C-alpha cells in the first residue's frame, strides 16, 4: 500500500526537523566545556550590603564590583542556615536544614560517614578536589573530616573556634598539623593564617591546570578576631579616608573594612591566575557570603552597625535580624557568578534559591551524578540560559529552614517564621514588606496553614555523625589553639582577660561541681570549668544535639560546711555574650538534695568584669545551688567563665 504523496512529504519534513534537533543538541553541548573547572569562594559573614557595588559608602571592593559587572548578580540568594556549620552542611550535601546532619553551630558536629558531597561527586568524574579555609563540617577524628568526603586536600581550619584566630600555632592539612612560625594563638604573631591558605589555593589551581578541578575557598575573613597585618596591601585603598583617622571609630571596625578589601584583592589574584593560565573560559567562578551579616560595631549613630550590613544604603530599607535569625537579615547573602563566554555579563537575576541548590547545579554542569535524596534544584538554566541548557528553570514549591527554636518557610514572596519561646507563627509578604514588620497571619490564615503543613513534612529528626575518639583530644586541641598553649602568649594575656579577685574568695581547689542541669560536651564547655580558675575556659548549657532550656542549675560542693556570704560571677571572656547570666537565684544548704524554697536573688549585668553579689546575711552551708533564670540578651542559654564563693570575712580571720 503506497502512501499519499502529501503524507510522505509531511513525514519527511517531521523527520528532518527531528534530525536537526538531535544534531543540534551536541553542537549546543560543545559550546559549554564538558568538564569545566569550578572555583567557589565563600567569604565568612560578608553581608549583602557590605560591597561597594551595592552602595556601601565605606568598604571598598573594586575587584568584586568588576566581577559583578562581568557576570550575574542574584538578589534573592539565601543561606541554607543562618549560621556557619549548618549552612556548610547544606551547601556540601544539597540538603535543607530539616534533612541535614548538622543543625547545631557548635563547631564540632560532623557529617555522617556515608554522606556524599559536592567534592565526592565531582571526584567520581575525575576532578581534582581541594578546599582551603574553614571546613566546619566535623572536627579531627570524626566521620566528617573533608578528606573522607571527597577532598584530595583540605588546608586550613577544621573547627570553627580554631578559625577565630588568624595567628593560631598551626593549621590543618588532611587532619595533620602544619606549624605556623611565630604564632601561639590570639591576636598577634608572625604568620597571618589567611596568607598561607591563599598561597596553597593558588598552588592547587596551578598544579591542576591541565585537569578539571574543584577549588573550594571557604575563606574565614572578615569573620573571627578582626585582625589584619599593617602591611596588607588593601590598606592603601583607604588612604585619605577621614573615618579611618577618626578616633571614635574602633580599630576593629577599621580592620574589618580592610579584611573585606583583602578578600577582594585575593579574588583578583584568583582571576589573574586563571587568566595567566588561559583557564578563564574553562572556569566558572562563584563569589558569595555564607550567612546574613551581623550588626557589628553598633553605636548610637549606627544602631544597625557601622557598615550597615542589613540596611540598603540607597533607600534605608532594612532586613530584619541578622546572623542566627531566620529573618532576611540572617539569610540574604551576596551571590555573584562569572564565566566569560558562557554567562552573559551585566545580568541581575531575581531567582529565589538557597545554598542546597549549589550541589545539583554543579553536578549537572560537570556531568556528575546527583543523589536522589538532595533537596536542591539546579540553577544552571538561569546561569547559562535555558536555550543553552535545553531545560527550563525549575522553582521550589517552598523553601525550608530550621535553627534552634526557629522555623521558616518561603513560598514565593510569602515568608512564614516561627520564632521565640512562645513559638508563634508570623506571616509576611516580602514584596510589600521586606523588613518583615507587618504580620498577616490573621488575614491570610489559609496561606499560613499551607506553609505550616510544608514545615511539618520538611522536618525529620537529626542524625549527626560521630567521633572516632570519644574524648575528642585532637578536636579540643584545635579549639584551644585559638587561645594558644603558652602562658606568656595565651589569649587570656593578649586579650587582658579578667579574673575573679576578692579577699574572701574560697580557693578553687577547695570546691567541686556536684551536679549540673546540662553542659555542652560537644564543644568542651563543661560545668567543671566554672571553678577551675581559668577565665579562658567556659561552661555553657547544652545546645547540641538538643537545646536545654532555662532555668539552668549548677550545684557547687564546698567539701565541708562553711560560712557563705556571697558569690562572684565572671561572664565568658571571649567576644560573645551568649548565655551571660541575667536574673539569677542562689540557694544554700548543708544537704545536696534539700534546698530552701526562698533563694537570694539578683540580676547580673552585661559586663566582662567580675560582678559581686553579697547576701543579706551569712549562711552556714556546704552546697551552693546557682539557678540561672534568664540571659542578658533574652536567649535560652547559660554560660560562665568563673563562679566564685565568698566566705564570711570573720570566719576567714
| Domain ranges within the chain, ordered by starting residue | 38-354+396-458, 497-652
Cβ atoms within 10 Å, residue 593? 7
Task: State the pTM of this model.
Answer: 0.78
Pairing assessment for the beta strands 37-43 and 213-219 based on DSSP bridges: parallel
- Give pLDDT, residue 524: 76
Nearest to 213 by CA among 201, 221, 230: 201
Q: Which residues of the chain carry a pLDDT beneath 70? A: 1-31, 421, 486-496, 522-523, 545, 650-653
Question: Distance between the two ends of the chain, CA-based, in angstroms?
Answer: 123
Predicted local distance difference test score (pLDDT) of residue 488 = 36
Instruction: Give the C-alpha separation, 146 to 119, whole Å.
Output: 9
Q: How many CB atoms lie within 10 A of CB 459?
A: 14
CA 332 – CA 45 distance, rounded (Å)? 11
The alpha helices in 208-288, defined as continuous H runs, are 251-276
The DSSP H or E segment spanning 28 is helix 5-31
- Backbone angles phi and psi of 510, in degrees to 5: -105, 20
Q: What pLDDT does residue 492 have?
A: 39
The neighbour count for residue 625, using CB atoms within 10 Å, is 20
Q: According to CATH, what is the number of the domain 497-652?
A: 2.60.120.260
- φ, ψ of residue 560 to 5 degrees: the values are -160, 165
For domain 38-354+396-458, give the fold: Alkaline Phosphatase, subunit A (3.40.720)
Helix axes 251-276, 62-69, angle to 10 degrees: 50
How far are the Cα atoms of 80, 146, 215, 217 from residue 119, in angstroms, in the given order? Answer: 18, 9, 9, 12
What the block records as the C-alpha cell of 143 is 566521620
Q: How many CA atoms lie within 13 A of 594 on its CB side?
A: 2
Grid cell, residue 187, equals: 591576636
Contact 95, 181 (CB under 8 A): no
CA distance 475 to 467: 9
C-alpha cell at 525: 564547655
Burial of residue 445 (CB within 10 Å: 0-12, 13-18, 19+) is exposed
Torsion of CA 165, 166, 170, 176, to 10 degrees: 90
The candidate with the shortest Cα–Cα distance to 486, out of 159, 176, 185, 157, is: 185
- According to DSSP, the β-strands at 37-43 and 512-516 are unpaired
Amino acid at each position: 500500500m503506497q502512501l499519499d504523496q502529501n503524507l510522505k512529504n509531511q513525514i519527511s519534513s517531521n523527520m528532518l526537523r527531528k534530525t536537526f534537533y538531535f544534531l543540534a543538541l551536541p553542537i549546543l553541548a560543545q559550546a559549554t566545556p564538558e568538564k569545566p573547572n569550578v572555583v567557589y569562594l565563600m567569604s565568612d559573614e560578608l553581608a549583602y550590603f557590605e560591597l561597594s557595588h551595592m552602595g556601601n559608602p565605606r568598604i571598598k571592593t573594586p575587584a568584586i564590583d568588576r566581577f559583578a559587572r562581568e557576570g550575574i548578580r542574584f538578589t534573592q540568594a539565601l543561606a541554607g542556615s543562618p549560621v556557619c556549620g549548618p549552612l556548610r552542611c547544606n551547601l556540601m550535601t544539597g540538603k535543607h536544614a530539616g534533612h541535614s546532619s548538622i543543625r547545631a553551630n557548635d563547631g564540632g558536629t560532623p557529617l555522617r560517614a556515608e554522606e556524599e558531597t559536592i567534592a565526592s561527586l565531582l571526584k567520581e568524574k575525575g576532578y581534582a578536589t581541594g578546599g582551603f579555609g574553614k571546613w566546619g563540617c566535623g572536627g579531627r577524628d570524626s566521620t566528617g573530616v573533608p578528606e573522607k568526603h571527597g577532598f584530595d586536600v583540605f588546608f586550613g581550619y577544621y573547627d570553627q573556634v580554631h578559625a577565630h584566630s588568624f595567628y593560631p600555632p598551626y593549621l590543618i592539612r588532611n587532619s595533620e598539623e602544619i606549624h605556623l612560625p611565630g604564632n601561639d594563638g590570639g591576636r598577634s604573631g608572625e604568620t597571618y593564617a589567611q596568607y598561607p591558605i591563599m598561597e596553597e589555593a593558588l598552588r592547587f589551581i596551578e598544579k591542576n591546570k591541565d585537569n578539571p578541578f574543584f577549588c573550594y575557598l571557604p575563606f574565614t575573613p572578615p569573620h573571627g578576631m578582626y585582625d589584619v597585618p599593617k602591611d596588607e596591601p588593601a590598606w592603601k585603598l583607604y588612604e585619605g579616608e577621614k573615618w579611618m583617622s577618626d578616633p571614635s571609630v574602633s580599630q576593629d571596625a577599621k580592620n574589618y573594612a580592610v579584611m573585606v578589601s583583602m578578600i577582594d584583592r585575593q579574588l583578583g589574584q584568583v582571576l589573574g591566575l586563571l587568566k595567566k593560565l588561559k583557564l578563564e573560559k574553562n572556569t566558572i567562578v562563584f563569589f558569595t557570603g555564607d550567612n546574613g551579616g551581623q550588626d557589628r560595631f553598633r553605636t548610637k549613630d549606627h544602631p544597625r552597625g557601622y557598615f550597615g550590613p542589613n540596611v540598603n544604603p540607597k533607600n534605608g530599607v532594612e532586613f530584619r535580624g541578622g546572623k542566627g535569625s531566620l529573618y532576611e537579615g540572617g539569610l540574604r547573602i551576596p551571590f555573584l557568578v562569572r564565566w566569560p563566554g558562557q554567562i552573559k555579563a551585566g545580568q541581575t537575576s531575581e531567582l529565589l534559591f538557597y545554598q542546597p541548590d549549589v550541589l545539583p547545579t554543579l553536578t549537572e554542569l560537570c556531568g556528575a551524578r546527583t543523589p536522589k535524596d538532595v533537596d536542591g534544584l539546579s540553577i544552571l538554566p538561569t546561569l547559562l540560559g535555558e536555550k543553552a541548557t535545553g531545560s527550563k528553570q525549575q522553582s521550589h514549591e517552598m523553601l525550608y529552614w530550621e535553627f534552634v527554636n526557629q522555623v521558616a518557610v518561603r513560598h514565593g514572596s510569602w515568608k512564614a517564621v516561627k520564632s521565640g519561646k512562645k513559638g508563634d507563627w508570623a506571616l509576611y509578604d516580602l514584596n510589600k514588606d521586606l523588613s518583615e514588620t507587618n504580620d498577616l497571619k490573621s488575614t491570610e490564615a489559609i496561606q499560613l496553614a499551607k506553609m505550616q503543613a510544608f514545615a511539618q513534612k520538611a522536618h525529620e529528626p537529626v542524625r549527626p555523625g560521630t567521633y572516632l575518639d570519644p574524648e575528642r583530644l585532637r578536636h579540643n586541641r584545635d579549639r584551644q589553639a585559638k587561645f594558644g598553649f603558652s602562658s606568656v602568649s595565651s589569649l587570656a594575656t593578649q586579650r587582658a582577660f579578667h579574673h575573679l579577685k576578692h579577699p574572701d574568695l574560697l580557693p578553687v581547689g577547695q570546691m567541686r561541681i556536684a551536679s549540673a542541669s546540662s553542659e555542652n560536651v560537644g564543644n568542651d564547655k563543661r560545668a567543671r570549668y566554672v571553678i577551675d580558675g581559668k577565665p579562658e575556659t567556659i561552661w555553657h548549657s547544652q545546645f547540641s544535639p538538643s537545646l536545654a532550656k532555662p532555668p539552668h542549675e549548677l550545684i557547687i560542693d564546698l567539701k565541708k560546711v562553711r560560712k557563705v556570704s556571697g558569690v562572684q560571677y565572671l561572664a565568658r571572656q571571649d567576644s560573645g555574650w551568649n548565655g551571660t547570666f541575667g536574673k539569677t537565684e542562689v540557694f544554700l544548704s548543708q544537704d545536696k538534695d534539700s534546698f530552701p524554697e526562698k533563694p537570694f536573688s539578683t540580676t547580673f549585668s552585661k559586663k566582662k568584669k567580675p560582678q559581686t553579689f553579697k547576701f543579706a546575711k551569712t549562711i552556714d552551708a556546704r552546697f551552693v545551688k546557682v539557678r540561672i533564670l534568664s540571659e542578658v540578651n533574652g536567649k535560652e542559654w547559660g554560660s560562665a567563665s568563673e563562679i566564685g564563693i565568698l566566705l564570711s570575712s570573720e570566719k576567714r580571720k
